Amino acid sequence: MKTILITGASTGIGHAAALRFHAEGWNVAATMRKPESAGDLAGLERVVVLPLDVTDRANIAQAVQSTLTAFGGIDVLLNNAGYGLVGPLEAVQAAQLERQYATNVFGPIYTTQACLPHFRARKAGLVINVSSIGGRLALPFNSIYHGTKFAIEGLSESLALELAPHGIQVKLIEPGGVRTDFGGRSLDFMQQAGLSAYDASLKAAMSTFMEPDRAKDYSDASQIAEVIYQAATDGSAQLRYLAGKDAQAMLAHRASLTDEEYRDWVVAKFHL
């Protein structure tokens, strides 16, 4: 029986992935900051709910050890925990910046590092990092978030090369828009009292982000969980998995343009 350890399994993609793998007979270590938020995962056979804040290294070591104790091994690590930070970079507070990188970049690095001795000993293992279409292309007023997802893309691509000789794979999931708590309670905003220089362009860009048509091709978390399940089980050496109709369309559009043509398209589209 196979085992997956998932970070950020309380809601959204992580929660949907926990249910998907469980339904296929996997053991699931569903980790989350607040285990009391486990909801329908609590009490399921072959699911252990474990406390894990990915910004806490001692906590990571403990969660990995508890998973090994509960199930005897880990086959797949799903680095899913993450959130968005939006607004003008000039307004970012140090604590916000550090929390964003600690969660979206250092968290996956430290969690991967904690699993690697086990994966190397077995000469097998798969690390799946939840990136974003925002790790392949950029939109305005998301600079720090894009920075974290571009970082995940680069480090995953390099890590895949150094782990392959040890029988360990790395894969990337790149969702477009997903109907989760991402754009609601999880979202953080960069704001600075007295800084109004960006108000007009931010308002203009937000009007494009909020267009009802933009959300029509968003995915449900269960659709992204399906892509994750395929990535974990297709036996291929594929590195990147675009997830969602909108992600496919956005990347195809981006790939058809030069950097400058794409920039001009964004400027027009977001009224900058």
Ligand X SMILES: NC(=O)c1ccc[n+]([C@@H]2O[C@H](COP(=O)([O-])OP(=O)(O)OC[C@H]3O[C@@H](n4cnc5c(N)ncnc54)[C@H](OP(=O)(O)O)[C@@H]3O)[C@@H](O)[C@H]2O)c1
Q: Does 14 bind ligand X (CB under 6 A)?
A: yes
Contacts of 138 (CB under 8 A, 6+ apart): 146, 266
Contacts of 9 (CB under 8 A, 6+ apart): 15, 17, 18, 28, 30, 31, 32, 38, 41, 49, 80
Q: Is residue 143 annotated as part of the catalytic site, yes or no?
A: no
Residues numbered 23-82 forming contacts with ligand X, rule: CB under 6 A = 32-34, 37, 52-55, 80-82
Cβ proximity to ligand X, 37 vs 124, nearer residue? 37
State which H helix or E strand residue 179 sits in. Answer: strand 178-179
Q: Which of 21, 182, 229, 241 binds ligand X (CB under 6 A)?
A: 182
Cβ proximity to ligand X, 103 vs 112, nearer residue? 103
Q: Which of 5, 41, 180, 198 binds ligand X (CB under 6 A)?
A: 180
Q: Is residue 131 annotated as part of the catalytic site, yes or no?
A: yes
Closest chain position to ligand X (CB): 12
Alpha helices in the chain (DSSP H): 12-23, 57-71, 94-101, 107-122, 143-163, 199-209, 221-233, 245-255, 259-269
CB of 198 to ligand X, least distance (A): 23
Nearest to 171 by CA among 233, 241, 73, 247: 241
Q: Does 12 bind ligand X (CB under 6 A)?
A: yes
Catalytic residue among 10, 110, 131, 219: 131
Residues numbered 108-167 forming contacts with ligand X, rule: CB under 6 A = 130, 132
Number of residues that bind ligand X (CB under 6 A): 30
Q: Is residue 149 annotated as part of the catalytic site, yes or no?
A: yes
Q: Does 186 bind ligand X (CB under 6 A)?
A: yes
Q: How far is CA 221 from CA 36, 157, 224, 227, 258, in A?
A: 21, 25, 5, 10, 32
Quick check: helix, strand or coil at residue 138?
coil
Q: Does 241 bind ligand X (CB under 6 A)?
A: no
Interface contacts to ligand X, rule CB under 6 A:
7-8, 10-14, 32-34, 37, 52-55, 80-83, 103, 130, 132, 175, 177-178, 180-182, 186, 221
